[in-house]
Structure 1
Amino acid sequence: MKSQFKLKADALKQFGDEGKLVKAPNPLPARAGTEKGYKQNFFKKVYAQFNDKNPEFVAAARRRIFGNMNPDHVWELQLGGPDVRSNLHMLDATTNQVIGRHQAADHASAGLHAHLGQHSGALMITEEFRQSLARAREAIDSSEEWSIFNSVPAGVSRRPDLDAPEEYLDFLMAANGAIMGSVVILDRKYAEKSQGLISPNRVEVPEDPDDWFVVGKINENPMLVNRRDGSVWTYPDMLTSWWASRRFERVADSLAEFVSEQALGSGYLRITGSTETDEWWQLLRHLGNV
């Protein structure tokens, strides 16, 4: 069976030949084996840090890392991303492959909307929103397992000099990116590099590519912000690679709304296709958000 990377490369070449995409190099540069080394070194760090005080946790982590997790490139290789460890994070393989089949939980995130401001009908970055991120950060730091696979780092010290939507710049002041289960909000470094996803002729968007900004991804599907109105869009079809998809849909009116309802709220299962055994979902339950 062809590897997922080979399938991506073949698809990019096909669409490039059809004039729909910028043609990928052929052949693609040889990979350096970075992913394999990353997984091994990832476990070594877990072992060194936790084996003496919690061997049961290390045994469980070993089974998960080598049995159900894959290194994932934050900046995609076929878009020029480097095959280096600093461009990798661990992603649950089941989440990465599952077909979205779950409906959002019927109950809303407990108390979140009461703490978030509104502007023109959309949730915005407010002090209460920053506190919600801080609570998630504290929860991550309170658990060895949660802290290995998730991250909500502190915000940047200065407002970035980046041609990006104002709300995303506000988000970076609260958290310099985030890995919340299968939802990734790009940090300042990779946000700038990932804009190649919407270069002319690379992928179809409903309007001028200059109107869009890549802000993150859900599983392997890019998440874009419309620069004109701040709405958040993605490619929701998990049966089709995003660059071959003809579905491009609005999922939130603002980045704050997306994070509050989809990453920190009950919409997480639906938007990612995860199950209730997902660790991030367990963290959300711990916080009382779901």
Structure 2
Amino acid sequence: MNPDLRELIEELRADLEAGQPETLSWAEIQGAVPSDKIPDDVPQPVRELLEVADGILAGAFSLSSTRTYGYFQSVLGDMPGFTRVSDEPDKWFVFGRLHEEPLLLHRETGAVWYFPRTDGDEWYMREEFEGVASDLDSFLAYYVFGAGYAELGADDDEWWNFLADQGVAGSDDEDGEPGA
């Protein structure tokens, strides 16, 4: 994991903990888990995230923990046929949810995929499934912990306001990484 992203996650966790119990309803970043406690089938980028945060609730995002990752994988068999995910479930890893909808990591490429939101349709009924970031670090830095949260999450919830208060919601460099 990018050291700057690791530092940002640790800083945000400390700030959220300082605001508890009020922050618990919309955000929580769990502590790290030792690498020997992470199952072997977890892809390296997700392993690195778990070594920093064993589960994240960040507004519209819920990222798996070592306790919940098995449950998250159960959705692989229910993926719409056009995605071809259920034909090749070993190539995919469900690492979290966005608005209760699966977020997937392609094991070979490291790219993050999701179902773009449409009005009224459940994710499993949609006909769009697309890559949203080339790797997990970029996805986390921009969409979960940065300015891109307004694009996929919301631009008017507690998490967005928290990111704005932290100075990361509106500033990003050309790589999508949060600015200083």
TM-score, length-normalised on structure 1?
0.53
Amino acid at match of 1:280: W
Specify the alignment match of 1:56 in structure 2: none
SS at match of 2:108: coil
Specify the alignment match of 2:100 in structure 1: 220
Deviations 1:36-58, CA, capped at 9 Å, x for gaps: xxxxxxxxxxxxxxxxxxxxxxx
SS at match of 2:138: helix
Specify the alignment match of 2:10 in structure 1: 134
> Which ranges of structure 2 fall in alignment gaps of 5 or more residues?
170-180
SS at match of 1:283: helix
Displacement of 1:179: 0.4
Is the Cα contact below 8 Å between 1:236 and 1:247 reproduced in 2?
A: yes
Q: Find the aligned partners of 2:40 and 2:68 in 1 and give their Cα distance.
A: 12
Q: Find the aligned partners of 1:215 and 1:136 in 2 and give their Cα distance.
A: 20
Displacement of 1:185: 0.8
Displacement of 1:202: 4.5
Deviations 1:115-143, CA, capped at 9 Å, x for gaps: xxxxxxxxxx1222211101110121122
The aligned runs of 1:211-290 (5 Å cut-off) are: 211-239=91-119, 240-272=121-153, 274-276=154-156, 278-290=157-169
Displacement of 1:222: 0.5
Amino acid at match of 1:146: T
Aligned residue among 40, 49, 55 for 1:177 = 55
Q: Find the aligned partners of 2:35 and 2:106 in 1 and give their Cα distance.
A: 24
TM-score, length-normalised on structure 2?
0.84
Is the Cα contact below 8 Å between 1:162 and 1:192 reproduced in 2?
A: no
Amino acid at match of 2:13: R
Deviations 1:164-211, CA, capped at 9 Å, x for gaps: 211101110010010011111111111112212112x65332452221
Percentage of pairs with the same residue:
25
Q: Runs ≥4 in structure 1, deviation > 4 angstroms? A: none
Q: Find the aligned partners of 1:126 and 1:231 in 2 and give their Cα distance.
A: 16
Q: Find the aligned partners of 1:257 and 1:158 in 2 and give their Cα distance.
A: 22
Q: Find the aligned partners of 1:164 and 1:216 in 2 and give their Cα distance.
A: 13
Specify the alignment match of 2:19 in structure 1: 143
SS at match of 2:35: coil
Q: Find the aligned partners of 2:142 and 2:155 in 1 and give their Cα distance.
A: 17
Larger Rg: 1 or 2?
1
Q: Find the aligned partners of 1:173 and 1:226 in 2 and give their Cα distance.
A: 20
Amino acid at match of 1:216: G
